[in-house]
């Protein structure tokens, strides 16, 4: 199993995928199975092409149907996703703002001056 140690916690791929659920958002808004003809959202999106996610799955990030990069693990892909939003100065999409804010502020420890949604603060107080 792959672990990423950030701010005194071990984050596994399974716990990473639980964050949107705990914040009442959809994993499918961040992670999309891509097949021929799949229409991707204009926002930054992590994609994979296999039938299901396995340890050998590679992940791509697309913005406006343009490939930004490829990552060997889901954890690195989520780090790449946060970097993509930062580098291209993109606003978090409304449907994923709580998950991305949690990852940015409490996992990657990258604070900013924006208001943190109450649900994100509540989750952070319970798990960190």
Task: Give 44-100 pLDDT, tens digit per residue.
Answer: 999 999 888 877 889 999 999 999 999 999 989 999 999 999 999 999 999 999 999
With contact defined as beta carbons under 8 Å apart, do 72 and 2 qualify?
no
Whether the per-residue pLDDT at 113 is higher than 60: the answer is yes
What is the structure's pLDDT at 38? 86
Contacts of 80 by beta carbon, 8 Å cutoff, 6+ apart: 46, 61, 68, 69, 71
CA–CA gap between residue 25 and residue 22 (Å, rounded): 8
- The larger pLDDT score, comparing residue 13 to residue 87, is at 87
> What value does the mean pLDDT take over residues 91-111?
93
Query: What's the pLDDT at 11?
Result: 59
Pairing label, strands 66-71, 4-6 = unpaired
How far is 65 from 81, CA to CA, in rounded Å? 14
Taking the CA atoms of the chain, what radius of gyration do you get in angstroms? Answer: 14
pLDDT at 10 over 50: no
5 has pLDDT over 60: no
The pLDDT of residue 41 is: 87
Higher pLDDT, 17 or 70: 70
- The chain-wide mean pLDDT, for the chain, equals 87
- Do residues 66 and 20 make contact, with C-beta atoms less than 8 angstroms apart? no
The proportion of the chain whose per-residue pLDDT surpasses 70, expressed as a percent, equals: 91
Across the chain, the runs of DSSP E, i.e. the strands, are 4-6, 9-11, 31-33, 45-48, 59-63, 66-71
Distance CA 19, CA 123 (A): 9
């Amino acid at each position: 199993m792959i672990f990423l140690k950030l701010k005194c916690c071990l984050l596994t791929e399974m716990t990473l995928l639980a964050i949107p659920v705990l914040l009442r958002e959809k994993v499918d808004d961040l992670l999309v199975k891509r097949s021929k003809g799949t229409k991707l959202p204009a926002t930054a999106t992590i994609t994979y092409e296999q039938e299901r996610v396995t340890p050998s799955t590679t992940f791509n990030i697309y913005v406006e149907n343009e490939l930004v990069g490829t990552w060997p693990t889901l954890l690195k892909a989520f780090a790449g996703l946060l970097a993509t939003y930062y580098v291209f100065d993109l606003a978090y999409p409304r449907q994923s703002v709580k998950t991305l804010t949690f990852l940015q502020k409490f996992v990657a420890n990258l604070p900013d001056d924006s208001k943190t949604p109450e649900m994100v603060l509540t989750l952070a107080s319970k798990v960190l």
